[in-house]
Structure 1
Amino acid sequence: MIHYSLRCEAEHEFDGWFRSSADYEDQRAGDLLTCPLCGSRDISKALMAPAVQLAEDKPASATHDVALLGERERKIREMMRNIREEVTRNARDVGPQFADMARQMHEGEIERDSIYGRASADEVRSLAEDGVEFYPLPPIVDETN
């Protein structure tokens, strides 16, 4: 994962985590990045100092949390991948219009259909408060992680 410090056109700074620099560029080009403070989609990388760690900064005895997945956890991971694949194969991707369309379906303004897309934290909170039924998609499971 790559960590970027991001900034919107209103100079709000926030963090973003991406699988790669290409993933950041794809999301930016696809207008998928939004400022969590003002909702702006005009996002760019902010200047940030690189996190360089010198060998003497970290003692040789430093530890890291690690895990070895058992059969039960591997089955759960497989189920999560299958759920995501099933939804994305059989539902319509409505992108950033998800919250608006889900609300319209909930209120009977448009025909109910299977959709998926993206929603901000504020949109998710508002949908939940209004009783709109939706489910977060399981994350994409990376087999090497």
Structure 2
Amino acid sequence: MIRYALKCEKDHRFESWFASASAYDTLRKAGHVSCVECGSVEVEKTLMAPAVTATKAPKTTPAAPPAKGSADAAARTATEGALSTPREAKLAALRRKVEANSDYVGNNFVSEARAMHLGDAPERPIWGEARIDEAKALVDDGVPVLPLPFIPRSKTN
């Protein structure tokens, strides 16, 4: 997995994880990487410092809590249920809308999406899980799929 700092044409800045550098390139080229604030697909990578962790715990005082607005703070507040930024509120609203208006098909996503595309199953809104190579094959075959900016609740802490 690789994390990129990204920005859109309107200078909205955000981060996202990708399976690999080539996965990012494939998704961006297909128009599947979009700004979390405005939806623009004109997204590019920005300069980002690598995350390096120490092999030994330092013998100093504990670190200060993450700065408000940082990725760590966003993860912490989302985990705690407090939505402190407009971006977090929009992501939570998107999750609620997807969960309320579509069927979670889990690991059957690829076969369900392909069956609907081929007319072998009735069309309906679905969401689920797919490996990056499976998602790429769906895109290559013209099956309309998009990555979601969250994972199923069953896979979160």
* TM-score where L is the length of structure 1: 0.49
Tell me: higher relative CO, structure 1 or 2? Use CA pairs within 8 A at least 6 residues apart.
1
The alignment's TM-score, normalised by the length of structure 2, stands at: 0.46
- Greater gyration radius: 1
